[in-house]
Amino acid sequence: MLDRILAEARALAPAARRLVLMRFLIYVGIQSCYFIGVLGTLTYSMDGEVASTAVVVALLNLFQIVGSFAGGAYLDARGPRLHFALLVIVMLAVDAFCIVFGGDMSALTFGAACLGFSLGFFEPVSRSYPAYLTADAIELKRINSALSIVSNIGVVVGPLIGGAIASVAPTRAVFAFMGACVVLAVIPAAGFRPVIGVRAEGGGQDAGPAAELAEGSAGAGTDCRAAGPSGRPASSRSSLGPSGRPAGSRSSLGPNGRLAGSRSSLIEGIRAVFSNAALSFLFWAGFLSYLGYGALDPLESLYYRDVLQVGVAWMGWLSAASGVGAVAGALLVLRIPVRRVTVQTLLVLLCGMGIGCLVYVGTPYVLVALVGQVLLGLAFGMIVPLQNTLVQMHAEVEVIGRANSMMTFGASAGGVIPLLMSPWLAAMLGVQGTLLLASVLVASFPVLVLVFGHQRIARIDAEVHPAA
> What is the pLDDT at residue 5?
61
Is 294 among the domain residues? Answer: yes
Distances (CA, A) of 110 to 7, 101, 249, 336, 342: 42, 10, 42, 42, 39
Beta-carbon contacts of residue 10 (< 8 Å; ≥ 6 apart):
none
Is 220 among the domain residues? Answer: no
Asked whether 237 and 135 are in contact (CB, 8 A), the reply is yes
Is 303 among the domain residues? Answer: yes
Q: Please report, for the domain that includes residue 270, its CATH number.
A: 1.20.1250.20
**Distance between CA atoms of 196 and 250, rounded to whole angstroms?**
6
Q: Is 167 helix (H, G, I), strand (E, B) or coil?
A: helix
> What is the pLDDT at residue 383?
87
Domain count along the chain? 1
Asked whether 332 and 359 are in contact (CB, 8 A), the reply is no
Asked whether 445 and 69 are in contact (CB, 8 A), the reply is no
Asked whether 26 and 182 are in contact (CB, 8 A), the reply is yes
Is 233 among the domain residues? Answer: no
Is 258 among the domain residues? Answer: no
- From the list 405, 417, 305, the residue with the least C-alpha distance to 48 is 305
> What is the pLDDT at residue 135?
81
Asked whether 199 and 206 are in contact (CB, 8 A), the reply is yes
Please report which helix (H) or strand (E) contains residue 250, including its range.
strand 250-251
> What is the pLDDT at residue 249?
39
Asked whether 249 and 241 are in contact (CB, 8 A), the reply is yes
> What is the pLDDT at residue 142?
86
pLDDT (tens, 9 = 90+) of the chain, 468 residues, equals: 656 666 666 778 889 999 999 999 999 998 888 777 777 667 666 766 667 777 887 888 889 888 988 998 899 888 999 999 999 999 999 888 888 876 677 877 888 888 899 999 998 898 899 989 988 888 888 898 889 888 888 888 888 888 788 778 777 788 889 999 999 999 999 989 888 654 333 333 333 333 333 333 333 333 333 333 333 333 333 333 333 333 333 433 443 444 434 344 567 778 888 888 888 888 887 787 677 666 566 677 788 888 998 876 677 788 788 888 988 888 888 888 888 888 889 889 989 988 999 999 999 999 999 999 999 889 988 988 888 888 888 888 888 888 888 888 887 777 777 777 777 877 888 888 888 988 888 888 888 888 888 888 888 888 766 654
Query: Which of 297-309 are b and which e, b meaning 16 or more Cβ less than 10 Å from the residue's Cβ?
Result: bbbbbbbbbebbe
Asked whether 206 and 248 are in contact (CB, 8 A), the reply is yes
Number of residues that this document lists for the chain: 468
Beta-carbon contacts of residue 369 (< 8 Å; ≥ 6 apart):
308, 318, 360, 361, 363
Residues 19, 22, 27, 28: is their CA dihedral positive or negative? Answer: positive
Distances (CA, A) of 148 to 43, 143, 282, 317, 330: 29, 9, 19, 20, 6
**Domain boundaries, position 73:** 2-194+264-462
Distances (CA, A) of 46 to 38, 75, 106, 108: 11, 38, 12, 10
Asked whether 115 and 38 are in contact (CB, 8 A), the reply is yes
**Distance between CA atoms of 153 and 205, rounded to whole angstroms?**
42
| C-alpha 356, offset from chain centre | 19
Is 302 among the domain residues? Answer: yes
- Burial of residue 183 (CB within 10 Å: 0-12, 13-18, 19+) is middle
> What is the pLDDT at residue 261?
40
Is 241 among the domain residues? Answer: no
Asked whether 131 and 194 are in contact (CB, 8 A), the reply is no
Beta-carbon contacts of residue 353 (< 8 Å; ≥ 6 apart):
376, 379, 380, 383, 442, 443
- From the list 259, 288, 379, 402, the residue with the least C-alpha distance to 330 is 379
**Distance between CA atoms of 234 and 78, rounded to whole angstroms?**
22
Is 238 among the domain residues? Answer: no
